[in-house]
Amino acid sequence: MIRAAVPSLDRVREKVEAGQRLDAAEAEMLWDERVDLHELGELANLVRERKNGNAGYYNINTHLNPTNVCVYRCTFCAFRADLRDARGYVMEAEQILARGQEAVDAGSTEMHIVGGLHHQKDYDWYLNIVRLLHDHYPSLHLKAWTPVEINWFQHLTKRSLRDILVELKDAGLGSLPGGGAEIFHPEVRDKICEHKADTREWFAVHRMAHELGLRSNATMLYGHIENAFHRTDHLLRLRQLQDETGGFQTFIPLAFHPENTRLSHLTKPSATMSLRTMAVSRLVLDNFDHIKAYWIMLGIGTAQASLAYGADDLDGTVRHELIYHDAGATTPEILSVEQIQRLIREAGREPVERDTLYHAVERDASGWKTGAKLATGSQA
Ligand code: V47
């Protein structure tokens, strides 16, 4: 019987050491479980340290999901509710303002805002959430609305993408979060979220945001029905837009949590799969400054280990996270600053508080202020 040779990392090692870009075949090979995970991690760590030294970034942030009622029925989502579902909720302006006050009182520099596409809410309802929070709490950076929401606003208003983004920016939008990316390849996307913004539309929103000077993040939902080819395709599409615009800040691989979803028969990805995903992402996305290990979904142990497998950021202290906790995440709902700093130190990294746009945050007894832009080394 002829057995396929175990893929060798030699060529990849040479290229990574020389700061050269991996091609599609090399990238896809890295997902093969016979490729030694720790060797892969060592290479990813080389790139991670070239770019970000020993820093382990975090921020102090608060989530806001103004409604969970959603016209879409993505198979992987445990958060969404139908219009007449007992679980369904819509937040009133007072509750939204109270969340803003809570965020400011907790020292948050960022509010992460995403939500369902409510059947009965118009575009102005979403626009006014940004305006209200920005007017009352101008120090909070509003990282709000994914391309799925923005694309929905286009559908509601029949206005151009540019017009909508300019208006949101004028109202106080600071940047776009990375959600809604899922898996770009239509073989998978058409099965897990066929109705919402497609891949072309997702990229059009980020391209336009970058053109308008807004920075954004990108994610990939892995560990469900996709395979190595689809994950590679996903990363390469992101790398291409980043070559064109340079507007992405951080890539966040998101481990699928099956509980309470229509894919609940699937097993959630293992820690080794998550570490491999972190490492492959770091190696393929050579033009992204940051790779984020979102502790909420990875679990604290895997997030700590990720800091040696390519990741340089743990996201934030986070309060009021719902999307993962509805899908069975067993992580705490919040970490204190001391806890997140300790996790980073235990992993052998130096905790550095950053704001959303990767400036240092300087704190004293009277509050916080934005410091210098945190330097990221180039790979070459
Ligand atoms: O797009 C939904 C994912 C995303 C599940 O930009 C699920 O800094 C796993 O994008 N299991 C939203 N994943 C979250 C997101 C994010 C998170 C942290 C930081 C940033 C950032 C962005 O969550 C969705 C979807 O891909 N998701 N349901 C689930 N059951």
Task: Give the full edge-to-edge strand order of the sheet including 350-353.
Answer: 313-316, 55-59, 350-353
Pocket residue to mutate for ligand 1, from 142, 319, 323, 325, most atoms within 8 A of Cβ: 323
CA distances from 197 to 69, 117, 118, 184 (A): 17, 12, 15, 10
User: Would you say 257 and 329 are in contact if contact means Cβ atoms under 8 Å apart?
Assistant: yes
User: Would you say 295 and 264 are in contact if contact means Cβ atoms under 8 Å apart?
Assistant: no
Q: How far is the CA of 30 from the centre of ligand 1 (A)?
A: 24
Ramachandran angles phi, psi of 60, nearest 5°:
-110, 115
Which pLDDT value is given to residue 379?
A: 43
Residue 1 CB-density burial (10 A; 0-12 exposed, 13-18 middle, 19+ buried): exposed
Torsion 59-147-329-304 (CA) sign: negative
Pick the residue whose CA is nearest to atom 17 on ligand 1. 179
Place of tokens 């208006």: 167
CA distance 211 to 234: 22
Pocket residue to mutate for ligand 1, from 215, 254, 358, most atoms within 8 A of Cβ: 254
Pocket residue to mutate for ligand 1, from 219, 231, 249, 319, most atoms within 8 A of Cβ: 219
Go through the domains of the chain in sequence order and give each one's CATH number.
27-373 (3.20.20.70)
Q: Please, which residues bridge with residue 215 across strands?
A: 175
Q: Which atom of ligand 1 is nearest to the CA of 326?
A: 30
Name all contacts of 237-241 with Cβ < 8 Å and 24+ positions apart. Answer: 237/184, 237/199, 237/203, 238/285, 238/288, 239/284, 239/285, 239/286, 239/287, 239/288, 241/203, 241/206, 241/207
Q: Which residues line ligand 1 (CB under 6 A)?
A: 76-78, 177-180, 182, 217, 219, 221, 252, 254, 256-257, 261, 294, 297, 315, 323, 327
Q: Which residues of the chain fall below pLDDT 50?
A: 379-380
